[in-house]
Each structure stands twice: as structure tokens, then as C-alpha cells.
């Protein structure tokens, strides 16, 4: 038996079992202490290999000025990085969670990936939604897959789902699992993730939040229903739409590496990039 993550099992049938989960929380705008406390309580009895937290889980979402967002921003040595390192230590899991990233004069809507030893990396959301465009700079780094002890984890954030190129790129880079922190306000994503996973044969963990924020001219109701979607489009876990929630399930990573649908069709090899690559890569 090979130990990869602490809880990952590989047996003679070639399975690579891994415990993955999400936390669905209810952030209070601007109250970092309370938001950390909620996550700490929700994870107190949890052991897993990978846990995903929502987008901006520690700050809330509905800013009324860029200055306000800046005042809640952190770098990769800030309190959120330290907090997620602690959560990684207590759960045994690699943890992915959203935060406002400050880098020189810019702020980004980002998600960091953290192990018990600290921050591994950070993804800056490339497709900003609505007034996020007023507060954040768009992501300026390429999509990336993290190879952590042989498990390949890609990250995208919330509205990135509506651009199929995002999940596609992560899949072609070799992702087994897409970690997807979210603050969803539209009702389509959970269904769309079935297609994203099916067309790429990858797992996805969409970690959403619940609750409402009424700030400035904006009123958002977050849709909950965090979801783990399987490589074959099956919904393996679905949270309620109105409660903080946590779930951890076991999956076989090897299934996401087998891209054959039947003896004739392989979803990776059957692609015909010579016919569509140039169009997809053009902006207009």
C-alpha cells in the first residue's frame, strides 16, 4: 500500500482513494475573527486529504469601495495564510480557500492552496464578476495545476465556471480535481459543473457560501448547495441552500485519469485542436 496523502490508499486494483470535502460557511462581512471561528468549529472533527473553502470566506463579498476591499487584503504571510496552515495541520488536508490578495499596489480576488507546512501557491481569479471589476485587478498569472505528492489539483474561482476554457485548460494541464471556491449568486453553476466535469472527466469541489449581504446599492443572496461533482457527471455530495455545512467523501483519483468513454472514444485524444484552437484563443 502506497501512502500519498495521509489518508490516500492505493490498492491492487489500481485505485487511488482520497478523502475530499468542502466547507460551506456563512461569513459575516468584515468580521475576520468570527469567520475564522466558524471554520474552526466546522472542521473540529474532520480528517481529510483535500478541503475547499468558499471564495473570500474570511472577508465577505459585497464591498462598497476599493478602499474597503484594500483594507481587508493580505499577503501570503498574513493571518489567513496562518489560519489555513493551522486548519491543514488539524485536519491533515491540503486546504484551498479564497482571500483578498495584496501585491504591491494591486489587489486580487485570489485563492491560496496551503499544506501543513504553509502556503504552496495562490491563484488570482481571471474572470471577474460584476463590481469585482471595480475593486480587483483581473488575474495576471496563467492557470496552473499543483502536483502534490502525485495528486494534481487545479484551482478556479466562482464565475470562472462560465468560461469553459478555464476547466478545460486545467484538465489539459492534467488536473485530477478542480478546487472551486465560490460565492455563487446565479442559479446555474451547480448544474453547469456536471458538464464541466463530464466533458473533462475530472472531479470538482465547488465550495459555496450561504447568507445575504446588503451593502451600498447591492443585495446578494448566496445560493449554498456546495457540490462535489464526479468525473462522470454524477453529483457525489450536495449541501443545503441555507445552512453552514461540511462534507467529506472518498473518491478514486484514477478514474479521472482514464479519459476513455468507450472503446472508440477518448476525450483527450479525440480532440481536434487543429480545427478550433486558433478560434478559441482569439479574443474577438
Q: Contacting ligand ACM (CB under 6 A), which of 29, 43, 52, 55?
A: 55
Burial tier of 218 (Cβ tally within 10 Å: 0-12, 13-18, 19+): middle
Q: Contacting ligand ACM (CB under 6 A), which of 185, 197, 204, 205?
A: 185
For ligand ACM, which is the closer residue by CB, 163 or 276? 163
| Catalytic hit among 19, 38, 55, 197 | 55
- Nearest-angstrom CA–CA distance, 230 and 236: 6
Q: How many CB atoms lie within 10 A of CB 119?
A: 18
Q: CA 5 → CA 9, 44, 92, 177, 208, distances in Å?
A: 8, 19, 8, 14, 25
Contact between 213 and ligand ACM per CB under 6 A: no
Closest separation between CB of residue 184 and ligand ACM, Å?
6
For ligand ACM, which is the closer residue by CB, 24 or 183? 183
- Nearest-angstrom CA–CA distance, 270 and 145: 22
Ranges within 155-174 binding ligand ACM (CB under 6 A)? 158-159
Q: Nine-digit cell at 93?
A: 488536508
- Nearest-angstrom CA–CA distance, 7 and 18: 6
| Part of the chain binding ligand ACM (CB under 6 A), chosen from 4-12, 139-147, 183-191, 253-261 | 183-191
| Catalytic hit among 19, 32, 102, 125 | 125
| Part of the chain binding ligand ACM (CB under 6 A), chosen from 25-33, 144-152, 180-188, 239-247 | 180-188
- Nearest-angstrom CA–CA distance, 271 and 283: 21
For ligand ACM, which is the closer residue by CB, 10 or 35? 35
Q: CA 146 → CA 80, 156, 196, 228, distances in Å?
A: 20, 12, 19, 19
Helices 79-91, 32-42: crossing angle, 10 deg rounding: 10
Site string for ligand ACM, 119-158 (x = CB under 6 A): ----------x----------------------------x
Q: Is 55 a catalytic residue?
A: yes
| Catalytic hit among 19, 74, 158, 189 | 158
Closest separation between CB of residue 256 and ligand ACM, Å?
25
- Nearest-angstrom CA–CA distance, 153 and 176: 6
| Residue 158 DSSP one-character state | G
Q: Is 125 a catalytic residue?
A: yes
Closest separation between CB of residue 161 and ligand ACM, Å?
8
| Part of the chain binding ligand ACM (CB under 6 A), chosen from 24-32, 34-42, 82-90, 177-185 | 177-185
Q: How many CB atoms lie within 10 A of CB 150?
A: 13
For ligand ACM, which is the closer residue by CB, 55 or 252? 55
Who's near 199: CB < 8 A, 6+ residues apart?
164, 168, 267
Closest separation between CB of residue 79 and ligand ACM, Å?
22
Residues contacting ligand ACM: total by CB under 6 A = 7
Q: How many CB atoms lie within 10 A of CB 198?
A: 17
Contact between 183 and ligand ACM per CB under 6 A: yes
Contact between 223 and ligand ACM per CB under 6 A: no
CB–CB of 53/39 below 8 Å? Answer: yes
User: Which residues pair with residue 204 across a beta bridge?
Assistant: 178, 229
For ligand ACM, the binding residues (CB under 6 A) are: 55, 129, 158-159, 183-185
- Catalytic positions: 55, 125, 158
Amino acid at each position: 500500500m502506497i501512502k500519498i496523502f495521509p489518508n490516500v490508499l492505493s490498492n491492487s486494483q489500481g485505485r487511488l482513494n482520497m478523502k475530499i470535502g468542502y466547507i460551506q460557511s456563512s461569513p459575516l462581512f468584515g468580521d475576520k475573527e468570527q469567520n475564522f471561528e466558524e471554520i474552526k468549529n466546522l472542521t473540529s472533527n474532520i480528517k481529510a486529504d483535500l478541503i475547499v473553502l468558499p471564495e473570500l470566506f474570511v472577508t465577505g463579498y459585497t464591498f462598497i469601495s476599493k478602499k474597503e476591499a484594500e483594507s481587508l487584503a493580505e499577503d501570503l504571510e498574513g493571518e489567513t495564510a496562518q489560519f489555513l496552515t493551522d486548519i491543514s495541520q488539524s485536519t491533515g488536508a491540503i486546504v484551498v480557500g479564497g482571500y483578498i490578495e495584496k501585491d504591491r499596489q494591486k489587489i486580487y480576488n485570489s485563492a491560496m492552496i496551503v499544506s501543513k507546512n504553509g502556503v504552496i501557491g495562490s491563484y488570482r481569479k481571471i474572470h471577474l464578476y460584476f463590481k469585482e471589476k471595480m475593486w480587483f485587478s483581473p488575474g495576471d498569472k496563467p492557470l496552473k495545476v499543483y502536483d502534490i505528492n502525485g495528486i494534481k489539483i487545479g484551482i478556479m474561482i466562482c464565475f470562472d465556471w462560465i468560461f469553459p476554457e478555464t476547466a478545460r485548460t486545467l484538465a489539459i494541464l492534467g488536473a485530477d480535481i478542480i478546487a472551486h471556491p465560490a460565492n455563487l449568486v446565479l442559479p446555474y453553476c451547480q448544474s453547469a459543473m456536471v458538464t464541466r466535469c463530464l466533458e473533462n472527466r475530472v472531479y470538482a469541489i465547488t465550495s459555496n457560501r450561504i447568507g445575504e449581504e446588503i451593502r451600498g446599492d447591492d443585495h446578494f443572496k448566496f445560493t449554498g448547495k456546495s457540490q462535489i461533482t464526479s468525473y462522470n457527471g454524477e453529483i457525489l455530495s450536495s449541501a443545503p441552500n441555507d445552512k453552514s455545512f461540511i462534507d467529506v467523501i472518498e473518491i478514486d483519483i484514477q478514474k479521472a485519469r482514464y479519459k476513455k468513454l468507450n472503446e472508440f472514444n477518448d476525450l483527450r485524444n479525440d480532440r481536434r485542436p487543429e480545427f478550433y484552437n486558433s478560434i478559441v484563443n482569439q479574443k474577438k
